[in-house]
Chain A
């Protein structure tokens, strides 16, 4: 059974940083691109970032480019999102999603940016 479990969210002050993690199991992690998607409270889905299976290619939404960094450790079956220079409008639930069909979503981790 495929499982994606996000962690690392929490309350952070504006300008602060966090590292979000997504632990994957039940599939050959290195064979799949992975995505991060976020959803602000009461708002729609926003595509954040993607990474290829070997980590060689990455994509970022304009809203996070230069502030967020996606990475993966295929030996640990774990996806990461380093979020920095956080702003209030980064407050959201962050989901990781398995690529190629987007068949599996994690339950999300909440990041709250507030002083």
Chain B
């Protein structure tokens, strides 16, 4: 089973920009991994922000965007708000195998 890696923690200033990344032990992440990004706040179920690399749900704030960057999936937050402080997880799909979550990134807005 592949290993999916994320930064354990990141800090961003209010109004600032930060990029979270999601890598795969099998090599470069491509659109064929259908990257997903989830946000989870303490005591709550996760919420899906991004699916299939860059698609947003109706509830996804415009300041979040998904992309592929340097062989990884990326989630960019532009104009961070205090309410964006949360744990963020990525998920990658692998052909013929179960999908795999990354270990999560704790984002602090400070």
List CB contacts (< 8 Å) of A77-115 with chain B. Answer: 95, 101-103, 105-108
On whether A103 and B48 interact (CB within 8 A), knowing A44-B104, A62-B1, the answer reads: yes
Q: Is the CB of B38 within 8 A of A101?
A: no
On whether A46 and B101 interact (CB within 8 A), knowing A95-B46, A101-B48, A107-B45, the answer reads: yes
List CB contacts (< 8 Å) of B18-41 with chain A. Answer: 36, 38, 40
User: A59 interface residue, CB < 8 Å from B?
Assistant: yes
**A to B contact number (C-beta, < 8 Å):** 53
Q: Choose among B48, B51, B52, B98 the residue that contacts A105 (Cβ–Cβ < 8 A).
A: B48
User: B89 interface residue, CB < 8 Å from A?
Assistant: yes
- Cβ contacts under 8 Å, A59 to chain B: 97-98
Please, how many angstroms separate the alpha-carbon atoms of A59 and B57 in the complex?
A: 25
Q: Is the CB of B45 within 8 A of A103?
A: no
List CB contacts (< 8 Å) of A2-16 with chain B. Answer: none
Q: Closest A residue to B57 by CB, please name it.
A: A103
Q: Is the CB of A101 within 8 A of B99?
A: no
Q: Mark A19-43, 1 if CB is under 8 A from B, else 0.
A: 0000000000000000001000000
- List chain A positions with a Cβ less than 8 A from chain B: 37, 44-47, 49-50, 59-62, 95, 101-103, 105-108
- List chain B positions with a Cβ less than 8 A from chain A: 1, 36, 38, 40, 45-48, 51-52, 55, 57, 87, 89, 91, 97-104
Going nearest first, the 7 A-B pairs with the smallest beta carbon separation are: A102-B48, A44-B104, A45-B101, A59-B98, A105-B45, A101-B51, A47-B99
Q: Closest A residue to B44 by CB, please name it.
A: A107
Q: Closest A residue to B1 by CB, please name it.
A: A62
On whether A45 and B89 interact (CB within 8 A), knowing A106-B45, A107-B45, the answer reads: yes
Q: Is the CB of B51 within 8 A of A102?
A: yes
Q: Is the CB of A60 within 8 A of B36?
A: no
Chain B nearest CB from A58 CB (Å) reads: 10
Q: Choose among B55, B57, B97, B101 the residue that contacts A44 (Cβ–Cβ < 8 A).
A: B101
Q: Choose among A45, A50, A61, A108 the residue that contacts B38 (Cβ–Cβ < 8 A).
A: A45
